[in-house]
Amino acid sequence: MVTTTAGKLSFREEVENLLHAEDGASLVRCIQCATCSAVCPVVEFMDHTPRQLIGLINAGMKDEVMSSNTFWTCASCYACTEKCPEGIRPADVMYALTRYSLWNDSFDRDWVAPDFTRRFTRTILRTGKSYEPGYAPAFIFEGGFGGIVSEMQMGLKLLAKGRLPLVPARIKRIRKLRAMVARVLPLDGIE
Amino acid sequence: MTRYAYYPGCSLETMAASYHVSSIEVAHKLGVELEEMEDWNCCGATAYSHVDELLATVLCSRNLAIAERQGLDIVAPCNACFKNLRTTALALQQDADLAEHMNFALEADDLQYGGGVEVNHLMDVFVQEEMLETIRSKAGDRIRGLRVAPYYGCQIVRPRRPGVELTEVDNPQYFEELLAAAGAEPVPYPYKLRCCGAALMVTNRRAAAEMVRDLLQSAVDEGAEVIATACPLCQTNLECYQADVNRLCGTDFNMPILYFTQLLGLALGVGVRRLGVGKELVSAKALLAGRAEKAAAQ
């Protein structure tokens, strides 16, 4: 194990510690071949390619990494994870970084994804099921006037087709589900 | 009769109601019993993994425990639910400490999980060789020769299941075989495993719109009349947002997107209403009316 100073974890180690339940290879194995970047369908919308991000993590450039939109832009399609010749699991690294950024509250307030994630999480903790209309405030104003009109038109059509629920569904034993979650994590930390 | 614990997932109760009804109809026609799981909860989608790994694991553990109590293996029609349930089942199998931790949590709902549940995607059930044979023998002419783009999506094949070769996730053929068994003509679809953008449609509209544009264009280029999907998120992005993709990308797509179970149901002679056909925002009516005439003329 390589540490920057005695007893203090390097940024790479901090990130890898968030991957405890995964069996991917250590990020030090990265050979910067860029296969992950080449197969990523959303790479052109990322501040840094997956290859660059892993390089930055290995170089300990925490601020650069945490201010990058890359891990919030990942769509979790796992193309990179299948193709990495070194057995690194870049998609899981992206998840590790979103967790790191939510826990440290270190994300850009203009980004939709962290807000959407929190709304989604709270919804499930309250009802046990997802409820799409509840997430609209996270993004509805992003698309400008044209976007709002388009979103509303779609919503009305979906309503007419019976595809949009007016009332959130709820599981029967939601209290017990909450009690279960509380045995894993303090609820007030996630609500 | 083969029985499964059926895990519909949240979308199938709302946005993807037609996937739900068509799955039930097709399963019934083919002698498969889908017994809906009692009081199942959301799989956590991607959001829960963004927040905490244990949190994501506990949600899926509850569903696995419910299926185990039912004494049945799980069938999930949604790619994302399938992936979450399957990877959780695997993690619990491999990590005894994690399983113990989860069982401590599950006690709060009087549940236990012993690790004995297998998680299948709904399509897995219909692509077994015997089942394909049955479909071939029962399929009528309703979708014969229909040019269909088989859109697998990503999480139905990735991350790879244990024991599966890379070549199988690079270019799987089972969706094509299923469509062919039902009488349709699957077109080569180079984008069949490419991501639909998933939740980026909400969090990064421009990125997702361009991803969907490429998927639709590829299907048009291959001469597909319809895209078949196996995931409610893929269907929603490709279909419900098609108008918005046209607006943002300056395109003019009008490509119907149906669930593979709807096409399978049509082939097996189930009525369109019972398959939820008609709930689309991009109508499939003209397409299917044309088929009926062709079939009648033959």
Give the per-residue pLDDT at B270: 96
Quick check: is B30 in a domain?
yes
For A96, the enclosing helix (H) or strand (E) is helix A90-103
Q: State the pairing for strand pair B226-229/B257-259.
A: parallel
Burial zone of B286 (CB within 10 Å; 0-12 exposed, 13-18 middle, 19+ buried): exposed
> For residues B162 and B168, what is the distance between their CA atoms, to the nearest angstrom?
12
> For residues A182 and A140, what is the distance between their CA atoms, to the nearest angstrom?
32
The dihedral through the CA atoms of B96, B75, A81, A45 has a sign that is: negative
Q: What is the pLDDT of residues B176-214, one digit of tens each?
A: 999 999 999 999 999 999 999 999 999 999 999 999 999
> For residues B54 and B35, what is the distance between their CA atoms, to the nearest angstrom?
28
ipTM metric: 0.93
Peptide bond into B159 cis (omega under 30): yes
Domain assignments of chain A as residue spans, ordered by start: 11-103, 112-189
- Domain co-membership, B171 together with B281: yes
Tell me the pLDDT band of A191, cut-offs 50, 70 and 90: confident
With CA atoms as reference, report the closest residue to B267 among B275, B279, B278: B275
Quick check: is B153 in a domain?
yes
Quick check: is B67 in a domain?
yes
DSSP 8-state class, residue B239: I
Across the interface, whether the CB atoms of B155 and A132 are under 8 A apart is answered no
Residue A104's CB is within 10 A of a number of other CB atoms, namely 9
Give the per-residue pLDDT at A101: 93
Q: Domain range spanning residue B194?
A: 141-297
- Domain co-membership, B288 together with B173: yes
Query: Cα B2 to the chain's mean position, in Å?
Result: 19
Q: Which CATH architecture does the domain made up of A11-103 adopt? A: Orthogonal Bundle (1.10)
A152 Cα to chain B: minimum distance (Å): 11
B34 Cα to chain A: minimum distance (Å): 20
Which amino acid is it at B198? A
Residues of B in contact with A161 (CB under 8 A): 278-281
* Strand arrangement, sheet containing B32-36: B32-36, B2-6, B74-76, B119-121
- Tokens found for residue A77: 């399609």
Across the interface, whether the CB atoms of B50 and A169 are under 8 A apart is answered no
Question: What is chain B's mean pLDDT, rounded?
Answer: 95
**Coil, strand or helix: which one is B225?**
coil
Residue of B nearest to A173 (CA): B39
Q: Which of B57, B155, B203, B233 to mutate to test the interface with A (most CBs of A within 10 A)?
A: B203
Q: What is the pLDDT of residues B90-129, one digit of tens each?
A: 999 999 999 999 999 999 999 999 999 999 999 999 999 9
Average confidence (pLDDT) over A154-173 = 93
- Domain co-membership, B188 together with B255: yes
> For residues A48 and A25, what is the distance between their CA atoms, to the nearest angstrom?
21
Q: What is the CATH number of the domain that holds B14?
A: 1.20.1050.140
Model pTM score = 0.95
Residues of B in contact with A177 (CB under 8 A): 41, 62, 109
